[in-house]
Structure 1
Amino acid sequence: MVLGIDATNIRSGGGLTHLKEILNNADSGSICFEKVIVWSNSVTLSNLPSNDWLEKRTHNWLNKSFVFSFIFQIFLLSREAKKSNCTLLFVPGGTFLGSFKNFVAMSQNMLPFEFEEQKRYKSWKSRLRFKILFITQGLTFKRAKAVVFLTNYAQQFITKKINLKRQNQIIPHGISLEFLQTPKEQKNIADYSFSNPFQLLYVSLITVYKHQWNVVEAVLALRSMGYPISLTLVGGTDSESFSRFNTSLQHDTNKIINYRGQIQHKELAEIYKSADAFVFASSCENMPIILIEAMTSGLPIASSNKGPMPEILGDAGFYFDPTNVDSINMAIKTMLDSTQLRNIYSHDSFSKSIKYTWKECSNKTFNYLYSTAKNIIT
């Protein structure tokens, strides 16, 4: 059997990482398919491994704008898949409007389905984009032979939202081993000072549902209470959120907030290792990879109580409402005050995180795709 992979809309970010890692961690013995064909742009294909069983194909339209890629997917990809004798097409990008009937879709984006989160965006263009994605991804999931979800939360929320009756499977992403670090022995907050502060880290895109300004306000309040704390923020910013974020930084008279902007992913592991604790204030996630990176790095974590975060972190976190500054303040304060809980939680979350491997993700993905393909031909 031949497996096709529609990577026509995958160019960067988590989608590219997922595709690259499941292929990197697969071999001819584990994938079961005789051949795997990936359709994408040249840059994406250059990031994928080379194997005898893997064929990488592109097209002029796939190397232009997303509009041309979308047209290729709708009008040409199905024909190409049929010509190549594909038994099954895997769609990790979440949207497929072509005529090829035997495909498995994957859900990696919650924003199209969480209407309350969409309201945080003031831009009509952003809201329109989410409405379009809700229609296209909802239609894709309903037409698919099966849907792959990343978490129980995403599965339950989306299946209820669109009344999805299709077969589905939960297969979480993996985490790179470069983040692996056993938890450090936690020190009493009294061992820190204004010149040697407790270093809190938050890694994420600066955007409306990540609530960085609330974290900044909570940390500044703790500093005014006498806590020797600093905050490092890492991540790019979107145009809609930059002004609000920049305004929050202007209240930092003691210069305890360090915004490093967007950095290379390969540098992240060292940044995690230099921190004393992590904060994650997102209110909308499908699978919070960044949270799991922090868990794997052995850090105590103050986390949002929204979405799949409690599912991932379990009872090993200091939880808060990310929309409420006082709630964030109290969670971080509790974390700072309790050396014992920091020790317990960091070890517990580290233990939970090590099950998320790309090898496991790759094996589960290709096994599920193979079993689905077998059911199609029998």
Structure 2
Amino acid sequence: MPETLILDGSSIRSGGQVTRIRAFLQRFRAYDPASRVIVLEEDGAVSRLAPDRGDLEFVDRSGAGVARATRRALWQNLALPQLCRRRGGTVYLHFSHYLPYGLPGTMRTIVGVANLQPFSAEGRAAEVRLDKRLRLAVLEHTILSSVRRADRVIALSQTCKDVLAARGVDDGKIVVIPNGVEEPAAMMDSAAEGLLDELAVAGEFVLYVSHFYRYKNFERLVRAYGRLPSALQDRYALVLVGIPHHREYWDHVNATVSELGLERRVVMIPGLDGSALSALYRRCSVFVFPSLIENCPNILLEAMAHGAPVVSGNIAPMPEFGGDAAVYFDPLDEASIASSLERVLGDGSLRQRMARNGRERALGYSWDTFTRSVVDLYL
């Protein structure tokens, strides 16, 4: 008897959540040809990622506004259990760390943990507003409640599994399934050059890609760049790319650039599509990753896959993924960041070895492996 999978994508908005569910939907039929799949979404956020898929049923719980999350939680706990009964749901899968109450007792439940910021001292300390810190406290409680009740838990890293096990979650039901990384798309050199010209990125540069949130640590990176010898600043620009989800923080980083007199050397770009990012990954002299907390750092893996030498913070799980292909620094110490950048920028042979080792290491992370491992949890 085929399974009826309820895939909850109702919280999908941006970033890794989008990448993960899109990759899963593109591949899962190779491993699960028969299950009925009902996808929950809001405002068409998931169906846009999987157009013309007659094998999928979409249930759109549309809603907007400041109370969106509250209304979603009410729907998940009051209406969703009834929907599961009507549709004969046998498996509930949510990649984003939430398990509603009241689901039929016969359903098997699988919950993924995508956000480790609530469990990170550095991640919590990065938030200066009380409401943000309170939100993290609530999220920590929600995640732990969900994974303790779930039948199986997907951890995107060994670090994530260790964090959950240390808080009393049965480690026997936690399986580590890291994200994959897409094969870099080929781009003609002329097209790449034209794109970089459009972005006002000229010459050699250091690159950081991440959405603008405080825990992404942009300000310390800018200040560390400002510590570099003037000869290195003159040779290598700093390019920062990310959607300014936290507009106040974007403005703060921009003000820091101005404060340090780096307006001509630091380029801030408010988000790019995949082909544009690919061009930047390929052409950067060094990719730097100072984020204070991640679970499975997709961006770091993408940079390595493109052959960018990676200089990264040493807070777990970054070394778990970068291994010996990266050079590490203390992301809380501007001098440490600057020292690592200076070392790598000053050694072309080292950069070549790092690029080669990074490509090889990135090959170990596949969306096919991710998808097959998830399907194995319910079939």
* TM-score, structure 1 normalization: 0.87
Closer, same or farther in 2 for the Cα pair 1:346/1:85, shift >3 Å? Answer: same
Report the residue type matching 2:279 in the other structure: E
Aligned residue number for residue 290 of structure 2: 281
User: Which residue of structure 1 aligns with residue 160 of structure 2?
Assistant: 154
Q: Would the aligned equivalents of 1:3 and 1:86 in 2 still touch at CA under 8 Å?
A: yes
In 2 relative to 1, CA 48–336 (structure 1 residues): closer, same or farther, beyond 3 Å? closer
Partner of 1:261: 270
CA RMSD, Structure 1 to Structure 2 (Å): 2.3
Deviation at 1:165, TM superposition (A): 4.6
1:326–1:2 CA distance, 2 compared to 1 (3 A):
same
Aligned counterparts of 1:24 and 1:235: Cα–Cα separation in 2: 25
* Range moving further from structure 2, 171-180 or 56-65: 56-65
Distance in 2, Cα, partners of 1:210 & 1:217:
14
Aligned partners of 2:263, 2:74: CA distance in 1, in Å? 53
Residue among 65, 74, 80 paired with 1:77 = 80
Which residue does 1:13 correspond to in 2?
Answer: 15
Partner of 2:140: 134
- Contact 1:24–1:48, Cα closer than 8 Å, also in 2: no
Q: Which amino acid aligns with 1:36?
A: V
Q: Contact conserved, 1:223 with 1:229, CA < 8 A, in 2?
A: no
Gaps of 5+ in 1: 182-194, 371-378
Equivalent residues of 1:150, 1:286 under 8 A apart = yes
Question: What is the CA-CA distance between 1:144 and the residue it aligns to?
Answer: 0.1
SS of the residue aligned with 2:351? helix
1:112/1:253 Cα in 2 relative to 1: closer, same or farther (>3 Å)? closer
Equivalent residues of 1:31, 1:367 under 8 A apart: no
Alpha-carbon distance in structure 2 between the residues aligned to 1:162 and 1:208: 29
SS at match of 2:174: strand
In 2, Cα distance between equivalents of 1:254 and 1:41: 40
Q: Aligned to 1:367, which of 367, 370, 376?
A: 376
Residue type matched to 1:241 in 2? Y
The Cα shift of 1:75 comes to 0.5
| Cα deviation, residue 350, structure 1 | 0.7
Query: 1-side partners of 2:96 and 2:202: how far apart?
Result: 45
SS at match of 1:327: helix
**Equivalent residue number for residue 238 of structure 2:** 231
Judged with a 3 Å threshold, the aligned counterparts in structure 2 of structure 1 residues 137 and 339 are, in CA distance, closer, same or farther, namely: same
Q: Distance in 2 between matches of 1:122 and 1:83?
A: 45
C-alpha distance in 2 between matches for 1:206 and 1:26: 32
Question: In the aligned structure 1, how far is the partner of 2:283 from the partner of 2:239?
Answer: 11
Render the CA deviation track for 1:245-269: whole Å, top value 9, x for unaligned.
Answer: 1232011357111111222344211
SS of alignment partner, residue 112 of structure 1 = helix
Number of residue-to-residue matches in the alignment: 356
Answer yes or no: is the 8 Å Cα contact 2:43–2:62 preserved in 1: no
TM-aligned CA distance change 1:61 to 1:276, over 3 Å: closer
Partner Cα distance (1:226, 1:40) in 2: 48
TM-score (norm 2): 0.87
Question: Aligned to 2:6, what secondary structure does the other structure show?
Answer: strand
Q: Deviations over 1:64-114 (max 9, x none)?
A: 923222211010111111221221111112112221143110000011222
* Greater Cα offset, 38-47 or 152-161: 38-47
- In the aligned structure 2, how far is the partner of 1:78 from the partner of 1:196? 55
Aligned partners of 2:231, 2:64: CA distance in 1, in Å? 55
Q: Which runs of 5+ in 2 are unaligned?
A: 188-200
- For residues 45 and 262 of structure 1, do their structure 2 counterparts lie closer, same or farther at Cα, with a shift above 3 Å needed? closer
Q: Which has the higher contact order (CA 8 A, sep 6+)?
A: 1
Aligned partners of 1:134 and 1:47: how far apart in 2?
A: 30
1:344 paired to 2:353: yes
Superposed structure 1 runs of 4+ greater than 4 Å apart = 60-64
